[in-house]
């Protein structure tokens, strides 16, 4: 189902937008009239395709983030929406996990949220804009072999709540979106050939969602666009769950 919003004249920044939810959100914002910048280390070169400006950025590197924001300053000088979507998973038991892998998850999944939110805040104050942070249904429920990921995503939710309180008087809204398992090529590859993860087979994972299916990235993009739109003007400090009922058990 496609939901239409009007973002004409708006400037939107999405981190981790080269694939999955971020890619779907970038397309949805552009289709709604926004100019969209996307930070992602997967890009080999800086390019502009229609309304979407793709900028190679390693979001664990504060120096690269600062340089990318300097480009936005020169090109735009304003920002209406920040979508902190960059994130990685780590499937590892506690005793098998390295300190470096733990740090990479936290640097990508929560430190980048802090760094980008801080850099964007002067513009968002001026535009009365807002932030949407991608968390996960695993921010509020446990999952074996996902300790780093679940801890980082829980941090995203409480970062969003606390920053929402801090910025409410400034007219800046901050919310989180908590998706369930989303049907992406990456997820399909993880279960290819009947491979099993900590939650079993892909059929086992699907069964954990009462709606009986995986989510689609475009469905999560619809939620993100809602949260950053005027239709959600009284929504801040919220964690929206789009998880097919996963957390309803």
For residue 20, the surrounding DSSP H or E stretch is helix 20-31
Determine the Cα–Cα distance for residues 38 and 20; give it in Å rounded to an integer: 13
Burial (0-12, 13-18, 19+ Cβ within 10 Å), 156: buried
Q: Which of 5, 7, 29, 149 is catalytic?
A: 149
Question: What strand order describes the sheet that includes 130-134?
Answer: 47-49, 52-55, 35-39, 11-15, 81-84, 130-134, 173-179, 239-242
131, 124 Cβ separation under 8 angstroms: yes
In the residue annotation, 114 being an active-site residue is answered as no
Whole-angstrom CA distances from 193 to 196, 201, 214 are 9, 10, 18
For 82, how many CA atoms within 13 A lie in the half-sphere containing its CB? 31
242, 220 Cβ separation under 8 angstroms: yes
Residues annotated as catalytic are 149
């Amino acid at each position: 189902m496609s939901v239409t919003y009007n973002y004409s004249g708006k400037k939107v920044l999405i981190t981790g937008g080269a694939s999955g939810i971020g890619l779907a959100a970038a397309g949805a914002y552009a289709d709604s009239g926004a100019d969209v910048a996307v930070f992602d280390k997967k890009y080999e070169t800086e390019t502009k395709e229609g309304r979407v400006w793709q900028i190679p950025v390693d979001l664990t590197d504060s120096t690269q983030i600062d340089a990318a924001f300097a480009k936005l300053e020169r090109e735009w000088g304003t920002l209406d929406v920040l979508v902190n979507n960059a994130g990685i998973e780590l499937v590892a038991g506690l005793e098998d996990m390295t300190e470096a892998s733990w740090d990479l998850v936290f640097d990508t999944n929560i430190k980048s949220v802090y760094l980008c939110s801080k850099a964007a805040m002067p513009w968002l104050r001026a535009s009365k804009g807002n932030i949407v942070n991608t968390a996960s249904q695993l921010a509020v429920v446990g999952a074996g072999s996902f300790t780093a990921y679940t801890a980082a995503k829980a941090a995203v939710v409480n970062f969003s709540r606390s920053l929402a309180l801090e910025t409410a008087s400034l007219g800046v809204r901050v919310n989180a979106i908590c998706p369930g398992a989303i049907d992406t090529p990456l997820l399909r590859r993880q279960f290819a050939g009947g491979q099993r993860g900590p939650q079993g087979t892909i059929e086992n994972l699907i069964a954990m969602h009462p709606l009986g299916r995986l989510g689609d990235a475009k469905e999560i993009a619809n939620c993100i666009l809602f949260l950053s739109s005027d239709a959600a003007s009284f929504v801040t400090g919220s964690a929206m769950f789009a998880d097919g009922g996963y957390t309803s058990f």
